[in-house]
Copies of this chain bind each other. A is one copy, B any other.
């Protein structure tokens, strides 16, 4: 039998990895309550007892291992070289994050919408860790090791908003297209950064430094022009010297 032959060839770590990948694949596309240990065994083409040998805690343990693996992937999204325009770095990070959401749609939704049978304080802690890590990575790009209250809150709130928008995007049958969603979220980042900078000196410094790194064809200048076009029609925007 093929899978017995495969079993002999794989090391313990490889076998573990294979089972986690099979579980991740299933949990990505089905609600946790719809995935059984038999499904995981079938997906990995191994026997049920073999799955239990590696994961004596059964489905819950497999779910948490798969989530750990997914969390590690997500934590890489905003890890990038700290050079070049900030908008390009954020766009790349968002592209990775949103591709993950796209590829793990049902699992992402079940995990974040709550009320799932496999949800525990451990799974919530992993979700929180991903959020905290994303915030830290973004603050690195902003060259701010210790954010003040307002800047820290703005970044963490934006991460919540990215998560929320991803869920809404799934609810809307994956509309608008991913690149439009990414641009929307990037605009939201820039807009809330500007609004926070307007009332916080640390954020203002960060915004100035980030603006200085942008190219001539930065999405920021485009956004500013378009915002002024809308706002200027109904409101007296003070002229710049």
Quick one: given A157-B188, A195-B191, A199-B226, are A124 and B120 in contact (CB under 8 Å)? no
Cβ contacts A95-130/B at 8 Å (1 or 0 each): 000000000000000000111000111111101100
| A142 proximal to B (CB < 8 A) | no
Distance to closest chain B CB from A212 (angstroms): 6
| A50 proximal to B (CB < 8 A) | no
- Sample 23 A-B pairs with CB under 8 A, ordered by A number: A114-B114, A115-B119, A115-B121, A153-B165, A153-B168, A157-B164, A158-B161, A160-B160, A160-B164, A161-B161, A187-B195, A188-B192, A188-B195, A191-B191, A194-B227, A195-B223, A198-B227, A208-B230, A224-B231, A224-B238, A228-B240, A236-B240, A237-B240
CA distance A150 to B121 in the complex (A): 34
Contact of A207 among B159, B192, B230 (CB under 8 A): B230
**B149 in contact with A176 (CB, 8 Å):** yes
Query: Which of the four size classes fits the interface of chain A?
Result: 35 or more
**B226 in contact with A237 (CB, 8 Å):** no
In the complex, the count of this chain's copies comes to 2
| A234 proximal to B (CB < 8 A) | yes
Distance to closest chain B CB from A139 (angstroms): 14
Within 8 A of B (CB), among A163-180: 163-165, 167-169, 172, 175-176
Distance to closest chain B CB from A156 (angstroms): 5
**B231 in contact with A194 (CB, 8 Å):** yes
Return chain B residues, CB-CB under 8 Å to A214.
235
| A196 proximal to B (CB < 8 A) | yes
| A35 proximal to B (CB < 8 A) | no
Quick one: given A149-B175, A157-B161, A164-B157, are A224 and B235 in contact (CB under 8 Å)? yes
CA distance A72 to B235 in the complex (A): 37
